[in-house]
């Protein structure tokens, strides 16, 4: 915690020396209160769509659903239950972060909103805990503070379907299923920190969803073992339709409020936003520390409006998975993504849908566009042309890697993004080095 504060002080001092606007300080208590307000908003909005009785019934259905990618909780339960599940998990993450004395910085904000997003389609109040426990046990074994691994714990809940599928999808007796599922979750969580620190070298930080890649590898290992014992499951694509009007308004209000909130915290101005856009976004790019809480929220709100507009412009459906993708992009608006490095990826995916076999407004293509922004650092570092290429290649890659982990890893795009980045970046660098010679 002290190291983080020292880093912030050094960044502000350097910004002053360079003639750039200093990040306006915001207390940790205030940051937590703001995030708490958004979690409560999502939770409370559940009751606009469904009654308490309907939400409780929907939550029961959500909990016993395996959650394999792609399972829209708005269909499995109902809209209110999915929002309630989302708000509840965001609140739980906030409590864990606070108890662990973690700073509310860019990565933690990204993790909390990602959890909230995926709580609409795959994570629930049952299937995440054993993975988090596994990471916690890892910290105990290595005699490290848990807050050192809190991001791995939060993002590692991408493997929630591993717990859900073993618990409810293979037909085991209830007692055996619950024990085996949570043992698998604990094991997965235990190995994630070691694997994550290693795999970030694979893509050199150009894939923002590093845990997504790590979870993809981990999920693949579990899946091949399951298949070796004859355990199989069908692919899943359950998505809601027909809610664009209400969710278009809901999301617009939500993201506009973030821009207003950021404006107020940034001394009632947009000053410094151009400086934020200069960051390539390569891991680790903590915009809260580098540019301030206010500018980060402005960036988050703008990204939310852009991605929501993209979905509506291509006649896509605003449902659980798509809103989850938008929430994730917004969260990473505090941790590596901004309008300048995201747009080329969206354009690349869009061009891919015009030339490849997938429709631009299909669920897979929309998820590829949203989550493909994990490759934003490529366009940020090497320019918009390479960003378009990255988006184009990502579209083809992500549609073919899910079979490896059987939907056990919710961050399928993070898995794909790691492969694309690891392949594309060395090629780009070789071309650039040849030009310099």
Shared-domain flag, residues 341 and 224: no
* Domain membership flag for residue 236: no
* Domain membership flag for residue 1: no
In this prediction, residue 160 carries a pLDDT of: 94
Shared-domain flag, residues 190 and 303: no
Shared-domain flag, residues 380 and 419: yes
In this prediction, residue 280 carries a pLDDT of: 94
Shared-domain flag, residues 190 and 103: yes
**Helix 106-118 to helix 28-49 angle, to the nearest 10 degrees?**
10
SS3 string, the chain, reads CHHHHHHHHHHHHHHHHCCCCCCCCCCHHHHHHHHHHHHHHHHHHHHHHCCHHHHHHHHHHHHCCCCCCCECHHHHCCHHHHHHHHHHHHHHHHHHHHHCCCCCCHHHHHHHHHHHHHCCCCCCCCCCHHHHHHHHHHHHHCCCCHHHCHHHHHHHHHHHHHHHHHHHCCCCCHHHHHHHHHHHHHHHHHHHHHHHHHHHHHHCCCCCCHHHHHHHHHHHHHHHHHHHCCCCCCCCCECCCCCHHHHHHHHHHHHHHHHHHHHHHCCCCCCCHHHHCCCCCCCCCCHHHHHCHHHHHHHHHHHHHHHHHHHHHCCCCCCHHHHHHHHHHHHHHHCCCCHHHHHHHHHHHHHHHHHCCCCCCCHHHHHHHHHHHHHHHHHHHHCHHHHHHHHHHHHHHHHHHHHHHCCCCCCHHHHHHHHHHHHHHHHHHHHHHHHHC
Residue 341 reports pLDDT greater than 80: yes
Percent of the chain with pLDDT over 90: 80
| Domain that residue 262 falls in | 244-432
- Last residue of one domain, picked from the residues 202, 228, 254: 228
- Last residue of one domain, picked from the residues 228, 260, 277: 228
The tens digit of pLDDT for each residue in 377-431 reads 999 999 999 999 999 999 999 988 888 888 888 888 888 899 999 999 999 988 8
Residue 27 class from Cβ within 10 Å (0-12 exposed, 13-18 middle, 19+ buried)? exposed
What radius of gyration do the chain's Cα atoms show?
20
The tens digit of pLDDT for each residue in 232-249 reads 888 888 999 999 999 999
The tens digit of pLDDT for each residue in 13-31 reads 344 334 455 678 889 999 9
| Average pLDDT score over residue span 208-235 | 90
> 358 — phi, psi (to 5°)?
-100, 140
* Domain membership flag for residue 5: no
Shared-domain flag, residues 166 and 211: yes
* Domain membership flag for residue 77: yes
In this prediction, residue 1 carries a pLDDT of: 40
Shared-domain flag, residues 319 and 222: no
Shared-domain flag, residues 346 and 292: yes
In this prediction, residue 433 carries a pLDDT of: 63
The answer to pTM > 0.85 is: yes
Residues 193/94, Cβ–Cβ less than 8 Å: no
In this prediction, residue 401 carries a pLDDT of: 85
| Average pLDDT score over residue span 205-234 | 90
In this prediction, residue 9 carries a pLDDT of: 39
In this prediction, residue 17 carries a pLDDT of: 38
In this prediction, residue 378 carries a pLDDT of: 96
* Domain membership flag for residue 17: no
* Domain membership flag for residue 207: yes
Residue 113 reports pLDDT greater than 60: yes
The residue whose two tokens read 């459906």 is 317
Shared-domain flag, residues 122 and 30: yes
Residue 197 reports pLDDT greater than 50: yes
Residue 365 class from Cβ within 10 Å (0-12 exposed, 13-18 middle, 19+ buried)? buried
In this prediction, residue 409 carries a pLDDT of: 86
* Domain membership flag for residue 222: yes
Q: Which residue has the higher pLDDT, 363 or 406?
A: 363
Number of domains in the chain: 2
In this prediction, residue 202 carries a pLDDT of: 83
* Domain membership flag for residue 30: yes
**CA pseudo-torsion sign 204, 209, 213, 214:** positive
- Last residue of one domain, picked from the residues 198, 228, 258: 228
Q: How big is the chain, counted in residues?
A: 437
**Helix 412-436 to helix 174-203 angle, to the nearest 10 degrees?**
10
Residues 251/326, Cβ–Cβ less than 8 Å: yes
In this prediction, residue 29 carries a pLDDT of: 95
In this prediction, residue 18 carries a pLDDT of: 44
Shared-domain flag, residues 182 and 34: yes
Shared-domain flag, residues 170 and 293: no
Shared-domain flag, residues 181 and 262: no
Percent of the chain with pLDDT over 70: 94
Mean of the per-residue pLDDT values of the chain: 91
The tens digit of pLDDT for each residue in 31-76 reads 999 999 999 999 999 999 999 999 999 999 999 999 888 899 999 9
Rounded to whole angstroms, the Cα distance separating 301 from 297 reads: 6
Band of the pLDDT at 336, cuts 50, 70, 90? very high
Shared-domain flag, residues 86 and 206: yes
Rounded to whole angstroms, the Cα distance separating 263 from 381 reads: 27
Residue 283 reports pLDDT greater than 90: no
Contacts with 284 (C-beta within 8 Å, 6 or more apart), sequence order: 107, 205, 335
Structure tokens at 235: 């692919």
């Amino acid at each position: 915690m002290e190291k983080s504060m020292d880093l912030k002080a050094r960044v502000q001092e350097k910004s002053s020396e360079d003639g750039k606007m200093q990040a306006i300080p915001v207390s940790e208590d205030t940051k937590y209160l703001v995030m708490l307000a958004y979690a409560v908003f999502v939770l409370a909005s559940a009751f606009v769509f469904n009654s308490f009785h309907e939400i409780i019934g929907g939550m029961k259905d959500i909990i016993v659903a395996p959650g394999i990618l792609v399972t829209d909780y708005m269909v499995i339960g109902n809209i209110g239950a999915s929002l309630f599940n989302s708000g509840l998990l965001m609140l739980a993450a906030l409590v864990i972060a606070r108890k662990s004395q973690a700073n509310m910085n860019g990565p933690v904000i990204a993790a909390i909103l990602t959890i909230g997003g995926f709580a609409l389609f795959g994570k629930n109040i049952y299937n995440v805990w054993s993975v988090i426990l596994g990471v916690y046990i890892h910290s105990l074994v290595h005699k490290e503070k848990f807050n050192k691994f809190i991001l791995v714990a939060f993002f590692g809940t991408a493997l929630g379907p591993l717990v859900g599928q073993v618990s409810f999808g293979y037909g085991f007796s209830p007692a055996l299923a619950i024990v085996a599922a949570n043992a698998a979750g604990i094991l997965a969580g235990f190995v994630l920190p070691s694997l994550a620190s290693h795999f970030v070298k694979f893509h050199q930080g150009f894939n923002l969803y590093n845990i997504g890649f790590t979870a993809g590898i981990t999920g693949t290992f579990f899946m091949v073992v399951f298949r070796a014992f004859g355990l199989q499951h069908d692919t899943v694509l359950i998505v809601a339709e027909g809610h664009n009007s209400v969710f278009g308004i809901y999301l617009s209000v939500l993201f506009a409020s973030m821009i207003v909130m950021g404006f107020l915290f940034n001394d009632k101005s947009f000053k410094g936003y151009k400086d934020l856009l200069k960051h390539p976004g390569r891991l680790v790019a903590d915009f809260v520390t580098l540019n301030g809480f206010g500018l980060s929220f402005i960036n988050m709100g703008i990204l939310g409006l852009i991605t929501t507009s993209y979905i509506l412009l291509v006649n896509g459906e605003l449902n659980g998975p798509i809103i989850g993708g938008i929430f994730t992009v917004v969260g990473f608006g505090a941790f590596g993504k901004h309008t300048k490095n995201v747009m080329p990826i969206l354009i690349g995916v869009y061009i891919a849908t015009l030339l490849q076999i997938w429709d631009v407004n299909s669920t897979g293509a929309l998820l590829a566009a949203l989550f493909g922004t994990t490759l934003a650092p490529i366009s940020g570092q090497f320019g918009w042309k390479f960003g378009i290429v990255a988006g184009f290649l990502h579209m083809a890659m992500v549609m073919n890697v899910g079979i490896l982990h059987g939907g056990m890893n919710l961050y399928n795009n993070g898995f794909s993004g790691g492969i694309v980045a690891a392949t594309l970046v060395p090629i780009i660098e070789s071309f650039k080095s040849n030009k310099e010679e």
